[in-house]
A and B are shown apart, each in its own frame.
Chain A
Amino acid sequence: MSRTTFRNGTVLTAAGPVTADVEVAAGTIVAIGKAGSGGDEVREIDCGGLWVGPGFVDIHTHLREPGHEYKEDTESASRVAAAGGYTSVVAMPNTDPVIDSGHLVRYTIERGREVGLVEVASAGCVTAGRAGEKLAHLDDLWAAGVRLFTDDGDVVADAGLLRRAMDYLAQLGGVLAQHAIDPGLARGGHMHEGPVASGLGMYAIPSAAETVVVARDIELVRLTGCNYHVQHISAAPTVELVAAAKREGLPVTAEVTPHHLAFTDGDVQATDPAFKMMPPLRSAADRAALVAGLQSGVIDAVATDHAPHADHEKDVPFEHAPNGVIGLEWAAAVVNDRVGLDPVRFFEAMSVKPAAIARIANQGHWLATGAPANITAFDPKGVTDVRQSRSKSRNAPYFGRRYAGAVKYTMYAGAMTHEESGVLV
């Protein structure tokens, strides 16, 4: 039987980081400690200086399949994810058709299995057709494996409808994940409301568009007891709301994207559509609050909102470009470079917490004997030089930039899915 040993890395266990060897066989971690010399059947990987922890989990990926395979598909997205250190992704349901019933969930998961590079889980819509008018088949979705429910791309705006969804999901035990942007305050807007938008004369979206939705929704969490997750948090006052909800003991979590940690509305000045996404890049003060929130744990998780768009869709004036950027490949390096987390908090934000939020059973476990061999080895002192992408699309603000940190190895279910990233030539 073939075995793999990650030798001499900083291993992230439930008891904290330890310098040790991690032995893997048959898809499972069989030992953590001082491994003997393995012989011919063992692949030895020198992990000196590397962090060896649970494979990353992205709870916000747009696979674009079915319906938009010219932007991305399950195979290309899985390749990108593996290169970024991910062993699992949660597919967003705003595909065509939208994922609002069980058979589409089963299709999405099955496509992930066929490709076999990462564990693909599927989110499901909150409302039928993602139309915001009546509930989707929540029981059916749940039975097919959905745990995270979202109309991502659109907010569930109707408070009465949202309350019914939360009553329902509270009973099932699911999580309501909200794309928190008030449609009235955001109407017509393309970027963050502030001095940059004023100078550009661009219709803009105030931070309050996010904060008012989360404030309202937290009141509904008090009412319903439903698990509630803020997607792609972007504004400092929203971070305050999440912190207060957590102090109160409410089941509220939040994710932040790498691009909101890396850039601000100042980067939009040149009107390059590579910097256009929803919610928009906000002020330097907002960015600082996001960084602090991720460090302290008020913001639980990093989630990429990997949102591929074809060149011809982004090669237009800013206001005409679709929202979204890709980022699965470089998220870990961007977070390491721009936030600088210790290894425990790093793997918590990249793996443990997101897996817990989306309830993915085989993912996000601190490394332990008997745990599934979903492992990422990350070099915090490495360099990721962003020049090209394995994605079908290249809509990202990262090109031409270098970030400290590199994903060296990704192992999914005992099989190596990626080796030696860093310099992409």
Chain B
Amino acid sequence: MSTLLTILLASYLLGGLLPLCVPGRPHLQNLLAHGCAAGAGVVGIALGLAGLLAADPLTGSFSSNIPYLTFAFRLDPLAAFFVLTISLVGLAASIYALGYVGEFSGRVSLTLLGSLLNGFLLSMTLVVLADNGFFFLILWEAMSLLSYVLVVTEHEKPGVREAGLFYLIMTHVGTAFIILTFLIFFQETGSFSFDSFRHPDQRLPEGLRSIAFFTALIGFGAKAGIVPLHVWLPYAHPAAPSHVSALMSGVMIKTAIYALIRVYFDFLDGEFPWWWGFTVLVIGAVSALLGVMYALMEHDLKSLLAYHSVENIGIILLGIGAGMIFHTYGLHELAALGLLAGLYHTINHAAFKALLFLGAGALQFATHTRNIEEYGGLLRRMPWTGAFFLIGAVSIAALPPTNGFVSEWLVFQSLFLSFQLPTLFLKLILPIAAAMLALTGALALACFAKAFGMSFLAQPRSSHARHATEVPVSMRIGMGLLAGACVVLGLAPMLVVPLLDRITGPLTGVAISSKVLALDGWVVAPVTVEFSSISTPVLAALLVGAGALGLLFARMMGKPLRARYYKTWGCGLNLTPRMEYTATGFAQPIKQVFETIYQPTVKLETEFLEQSKYFIKHQRFEFHIEPLFEKYLYTPVVTFLLAIADRLRIIQAGSLHLYLTYIFVTLVLLLLWAG
């Protein structure tokens, strides 16, 4: 395993450095950077699998001459799982990037883009491997900064720099809280080593534990994009090049999920009051619902997908939150189930969200726009991209027999099993969370019906879409890889569950693999088969069989008539793309029903002909939805900070003498205080 790890790190480093050594040869640079990253991805998948199956964690440590900092790493099943996830998406994104970066040729330095991608992948991989708080923070910061630089790749475009700055600020607010969390542990244990966090000489006081819970939740939550800390996500993720967006949405935000599980179940030893789990659950439910609701109103395909990341982080947290609640009450099997459901959804979301972002990138590559309203009819022009995007859409909408369905189903089950909890309050809250999840699922279905339908079906709505052609092979391979992963993860839960069980087993103290899988693994059940069960392979077979039956009926009962092709009925007119339903129109009923949340403002200006008010010369329609969190949470904070800064300007005269006086006075005061 250590050999694999060495190869992995070396490949990323080579991928980062080699392109810099061959200046002026963009093709070779492209090949070197993304080839190394793809190779590292393959190695990483192997390493992740090996780490999951290994009996003992692989550890290692290199001391440094900086106090408290040791370059310690530890590959336990939890870390291995995230290495696997990162590598899988990294592999697909690197292959995809081979063709995709051509889009940026001549505008940005491809050398840097390739190098930074390797650096970003390396930092993410190391973050989950780090076993020292100091080391972890350095890597976390590196990951944040590298992703920031990648976000502002196209900084000449309007809005990109602002998006990058917003991201930079939010991620550092988060980092501040993470530092706080580690300092709390450090204060009690006197060391930054994760091992001492894990096994402190004496238990942390109750109050401090609760503070650590909240600082970790805020710190990592800002990276994960939980509501209300999600606001940077829909700006930053779309601004980045699509393969980077895929990595950010697919795996970078998952490192926060990793860290939360690490802190709650590992460092804090899984001992917590019920309201911790309850808080996580509520945040999960709210994130899921609001994420998908805002996604529905988006017409920028990549912003839409970014909002769906908020939704899916919510679903993951629903599983983890339920697991935490069960854990508090000593229902260890159910705790393991909730956690397993959350982790299963983590890798599923990584697969389908990355796939969808790569698909969005392919659309942008072919049409040079991200606006759904300007797409249309692309399935006939880009059949491969369309088919892959459809697989992603069906998966994220959690429709059987795909992978999204399996993990969402497991989350549902862990919420339904709440009747085993002792308090009436929680017995009612968990089913309500399930109902919110059901609403979320239904809205996600509507949203992806919109996204796919408006982009790929009917007639092209713009000349961009009309002239679109299929993307290069490397991009199709990248997408195909993830589409394949979605199918495998959906149809073969018997392969996934035992692996996940190796993570949840040590964390919750009970192995449930044999109970979750029944009938030789053909059936997935939440601990007991009597409560419920599904079998995606059988469902898939059933669907294929029933579809074949339909085909048989069509053949047997009818004459073998060839279909006739004719234009769509347009009430006697020739149908033009302007008559098609728009994405805005499609989502309008939803906007109206959930008015309270959206608070839409609609503006309609009509200019009539002078001769008659029955003939319209010009009409302009505008609608906006109120960004609630930005308006009521962020704007006040920013205004407040600016006001303070304004006051403080009094002492900032710009005179060097004055500043020297300040320093002198401060020094004297400090000396007095120290004395």
Query: A and B from one assembly?
Result: no
- Chain B positions near chain A (C-beta within 8 angstroms): none
- Chain A positions near chain B (C-beta within 8 angstroms): none
